[in-house]
Homo-oligomer: A and B are copies of this chain.
Amino acid sequence: MKIYSKNILLGISLLFAITSYAQKTVYQYVDPMIGSEGVGRVFIGPSCPYGMVKPSPDCTVSPNSGWLPMPKEVTGFSQVHVSGTGGGPKYGNISIMPFSGALDKMDQTSFRAEENVKLGYYETVFKENNIKTEITTGEKVSFYRITYPKDKSKELKIDPGFFLGEEKIPDAREAQQFVGSQIEIVSDTEVRGYSRIRGGWNNGRAYTVYFWAVFDQPIAKYVTFKDGMFYNNQKAQFDSGKKTGALLSFGNSGKEELNVKIGISFLSELKAKNNIEIEIPHWNFNTVLVALENKWEDLLSRIKLSDDTSVEYRKMFYTGLYHTMIMPVDRTGENPLWTNDEPYYDDFYTIWDTFRTSSPLITLIDSKRKVDIINAMLNIYKREGYMPEGRSGNDNGRTQGGSNAEVVIADAFVKNLKGIDYELALQAMIKDATVPPGGNEEREGRGGLIDYLKLGYVPYGTDRAGNRTIDYSYNDYNIATVAKGLGKTDLYNQYIKQAENWQNLWRADYENNGAKGFIMPKDKDGNWLDDVVFGESKIQKPTFKYTPVIIESPWYVCHWCVFFYEGTSWEYSFSLPHDIPELVKKSGGEKAFEKRLDIFFDNNLFNVANEPSFLTPCLYHWIGKPYLSSDRIRTIIKDNFNTSREGLPGNDDSGAMSSWLAFHMMGLYPNAGQPYYLINTPLIKEVFVKLENGKSFKITTKKMSDKNRYIKTALLNGKPYNKAWILHDDINNGGELILEMDSKPSAWGTTILPPAK
């Protein structure tokens, strides 16, 4: 290669760089198994981006994503799942299970001998009978290729009575409950039916999953079943509130391979059939798989990483993007509640989890989709009265803290997403902020709102008074943002004032672990509470001492009834994304705040698995020490994220955890609802973002190494750039951010602090 002149070399290297971005595919770096074990709970089966259908093995009725690692048995393969959720499971509808043998046994549970998973593809071989099941999927249709051993007969169970999370107790909290199911053998190659289930984590009303299954071999014989009894040659089992299903035999002649397409619909069985006809009119498994890969490649390749990026980092990054874009799910054309031309999305699970990173990541790389999602939220508001905070199975619920649709709207507004009626959106936000949601305050809107408006905080005694107060004050800030942008000064003034409400629970003189000032419980009369109620005796007044490190509650007090939802005051007292300069001040100034952050991270008070702490590692930015943020982030990622099955440190929560990682690997981190990204040291040397407007933005590091991990200087489009944050508009206008790295912290980014409120 020495013979070429320098210029030619440069030319070739540029060419290589361009072509390397343009031609190599990236989807193969997605590993759906990352985060599948441990606490990640990600969905491991095939799914289109935002795909309605998510087929996967179910290993017993308990796990949220259906799948569990070997040697756990497989009960069947159902067609609808969610990804990364905690709490009680949802879905797991329309289960099928291949087997060999007589049609006389309801339970066909099997062990796996092997299992292979890649993007869009799942494969397993059962230990007992050597049956191989391969799965891929379309948007609304799942596709199974089942290969039976040569000498064995081909049987298949279809079980629309199955669902995840069954419990014996009627209305058990967070448990799905059976309402009804139905099955009909339509012809020797078709079966139709449905599953109707209520409850689950979000305590939703009944939803119905309709199916139409088609086979490429004729049914030779069958039995149907209902309520545990078999019925020979009875073609249909109607819905009488009992579980129904069928065992089908395809005999042992003909080919060993049975292909099964299962169309799904939330409207009707015929619509499910039509979904097959429209989407997968053929029998080619690979065609379906390739179409799915292409859809993902189109999305994933909008961000390209430099060629020197390690395979491990590629896997972590692209799997992060992948996990971010499998929920919410696109159910446009499948809404059983109303019909119009608006997009319809379900499985906001939940916005409390996703507003911080998943939602902004979708805005960055798939903003048209984001507009659709927000319009779906507004459509839900128009028809049902409130935007969703959580939503699943066509019903709102639950709220954990704030009414965080406000953050999503404000984030879209400050990032100039077009095609949204922001006047309507403001109306929807103000509804959250002014109208109490009625009896079930875990459904939507803001619980404890009346007190919040009257007192400026949610008093102790209302469930989750602490995080509700700080979330509402942030949500009020979001309303102020949009009101201001729309020129509504009165509204702005009102809500920017309410945005300070978190300060009403700031107990300034309270010390703990070397820090001073915490969000602490206060009663209706304005008294700080050192001891809070323990138990429900009407004679005694049992209490326990509440401190900023307490997360647990007495065993008989519900998980949802504590002062802070799933966290401590140490965590939540940092979770004020709109008012950090004030928080710094209240914490005793920059030095005290730095110490406070150090104590937090050095004493294991930080919980990487908990969304309210997502922004906390970046808070050093606001005291002019962005390099400390980068140090923390680097350590957190090193200690908690990897490409293993336990590679996610918490519930992925519809991609919340994964998108946190993806942002930080690029060196950007959003503060949702605000128009900028914080800049940190990237993990990847060059990141190329192909924007939807046709432009591109590149983040290039120079001299970066394990040692050279501090930003020395920065150039934005060739000009010195000394802010440790960058506006969304600057990225969206295209260009290049060059970060020159050094082995020690510099003065870069230390003088101009990120925006205050």
B-contacting 9-mer, from A176-184, A680-688, A745-753? A176-184
Copies of this chain assembled into the complex: 2
CB < 8 Å neighbour of A238 from B273, B337, B340, B445 = B273
Shortest Cβ gap from A362 to chain B (Å): 27
Interface residues of A in 324-343 (CB under 8 A from B): 333, 336-340
One digit per residue, 1 when the CB lies within 8 angstroms of any chain B CB and 0 when it does not, for chain A 199-217 equals: 0000001101000000000
Interface hub of A170, A208, A339 (most chain B Cβ within 10 A): A339
Chain B nearest Cβ from A239, distance in angstroms: 5
| Contact assessment for B241 and A333 in the assembled complex, using a CB-CB cutoff below 8 Å | yes
Whether B240 contacts A271 by the Cβ 8 Å rule is yes
Residues in chain B near residue A382, CB distance under 8 A: 171
Looking at the complex, which one of B205, B236, B336, B435 makes contact with A180 (CB distance below 8 Å)? B336
Q: How far is the CA of A238 from the CA of B212 in the complex (A)?
A: 12
A341 — nearest CB in chain B belongs to which residue? B241
Point out the residues of chain B lying under 8 angstroms from A194, CB to CB.
268
Task: Specify the chain B residue showing the minimal Cβ separation from A272.
Answer: B238
The 0/1 profile, CB within 8 Å of B marked 1, for residues 148-183 of chain A is: 000000000000000000000011000001111010
Q: Are A274 and B240 in contact (CB under 8 A)?
A: yes
**Structural contact, A385 and B240, CB atoms closer than 8 A:** no
A198 at the interface (CB under 8 A from B): yes
In whole angstroms, what is the CA distance A549 to B62 when docked?
Answer: 64
Let me know if A267 is at the binding interface, CB within 8 A: yes
Q: Chain B residues near A237: list those with CB within 8 A.
A: 270
Which of B270, B440, B450 meets A450, CB within 8 Å?
B450
* Smallest CB separation, A78 vs chain B (Å): 20
A184 touches B270 (CB 8 A): yes
> Any chain B CB within 8 A of the CB of A632?
no
Cα-based distance from A333 to B340 in the complex (angstroms): 32
| 0/1 string, A232-272, CB within 8 A of B gives 1 | 00001111110000000000000000000000000110110
Name, among A338, A383, A436, the residue most crowded by chain B CB atoms within 10 Å (CB to CB): A338
Q: Does the CB pair A270–B236 fall under 8 Å? A: yes
Contact yes or no, B198 A268, CB < 8 A = no
A386: interface (CB < 8 Å): yes
**Interface presence of A304 (CB below 8 A):** no
Q: In the bound complex, do residue B385 and residue A440 qualify as a contact, i.e. CB atoms below 8 Å apart?
A: yes
Interface centre among A180, A385, A437 (most CB of B within 10 A): A180
Residues of B within 8 A of A439 (CB): 385-386, 431, 435, 437-438, 445
- Give Cα distance in the complex from A433 to B333, angstroms: 40
A385 CA / B268 CA spacing, docked (Å): 29
**Which residues of A, 380-400, contact B by the 8 Å Cβ criterion?**
382-383, 385-386
- Give the CA-CA distance A194 to B336 in the complex, in Å: 12
Q: How far is the CB of A415 from chain B (nearest CB, A)?
A: 29
- Please list 16 pairs of residues, one from A and one from B, whose beta carbons are closer than 8 Å in the complex, sorted by A's number: A171-B382, A179-B339, A180-B268, A180-B339, A182-B268, A194-B268, A198-B337, A238-B271, A238-B274, A239-B270, A240-B274, A241-B333, A241-B339, A385-B438, A435-B439, A437-B439
Q: Which 10 A-B pairs have the closest CB atoms?
A: A438-B438, A238-B270, A241-B339, A385-B439, A435-B439, A239-B268, A437-B438, A239-B267, A238-B274, A206-B337
| Residues in A lying within 8 Å of B, measured CB to CB | 170-171, 177-180, 182, 184, 194, 196, 198, 205-206, 208, 236-241, 267-268, 270-271, 273-274, 333, 336-340, 382-383, 385-386, 431, 435-440, 445, 450
